[in-house]
Amino acid sequence: MSLDIDATRLSLLLNDLRLPAIKQIWSSFAERSDTEGWPAARLLMALAEHEIAERDRRRVERHLRDAKLLPGKTLENFDFDAVPMVSRAHVSALCAGDGWLRNGTNLILLGPSGGGKSHLSSAIGLSLLEKGWKVFFARTTDLVQRLQVARRELALESAINRLDRFDLVILDDFAYVSKDQAETSVLFELISARYEHRSLCITANQPFGEWDKVFPDRAMTVAAVDRLVHHSTIFELNVESYRRRTALQRKQQGPGRPASRATPKNVGVPPIQEDQHGIDLTE
pLDDT (tens place) for every residue of the chain, 283 residues total: 334 557 888 888 888 899 999 888 998 998 899 899 999 999 999 999 999 988 888 888 888 999 999 999 999 999 999 899 999 999 999 998 888 999 999 999 999 888 899 999 999 999 999 999 999 999 998 999 999 999 999 999 999 999 999 999 999 998 777 667 777 889 999 999 999 999 999 999 988 888 877 787 788 889 999 999 999 999 999 877 665 565 566 666 665 444 433 333 333 333 333 344 445 454 4
Same domain, 167 and 227: yes
Helix, strand or coil, per DSSP, at residue 169: strand
CATH classification at residue 172: 3.40.50.300
- Regarding whether 189 and 91 lie in a shared domain, the answer is yes
Same domain, 79 and 147: yes
pTM score of the predicted model: 0.73
Domain final residue, candidates 33, 48, 66: 66
138 in a structural domain: yes
Say whether both 78 and 161 belong to one domain.
yes
> Does any domain span residue 111?
yes
Same domain, 99 and 230: yes
User: Is the same domain home to 151 and 229?
Assistant: yes
Could you tell me if residue 254 is inside a domain? no
Residues 162 and 106 in one domain: yes
Q: Is residue 265 part of a domain?
A: no
Is 95 inside a domain boundary?
yes
167 with 236, same domain: the answer is: yes
Q: What residues have CB less than 8 Å from 256, skipping those under 6 apart?
A: none
Q: How far apart are the C-alpha atoms of 50 and 145, rounded to whole Å?
A: 43
The residue segments making up the domain with residue 43 are 2-66
Tell me how many domains the chain contains: 2
Distances (CA, A) of 272 to 4, 117, 279: 55, 9, 19
Residues 218, 181 within the same domain = yes
Residue 276 lies in a domain: no
> Cα 118 to the chain's mean position, in Å?
10
Q: Does one domain contain both 212 and 229? A: yes
Domain end call among 43, 66, 89: 66
What residue type is assigned to position 270 of the chain?
A: P
In a domain, 279, yes or no: no
Q: Is residue 262 domain-resident?
A: no
Same domain, 142 and 209: yes
Beta-ladder partners of 199: 168
* CB contact at 8 A, 130 and 60: yes
Cβ contact 130:254 at 8 Å: no
Q: Verify that 160 and 103 share a domain, yes or no.
A: yes
Q: Give the up-direction half-sphere exposure of residue 39: CA atoms within 13 A in the CB hemisphere.
A: 3
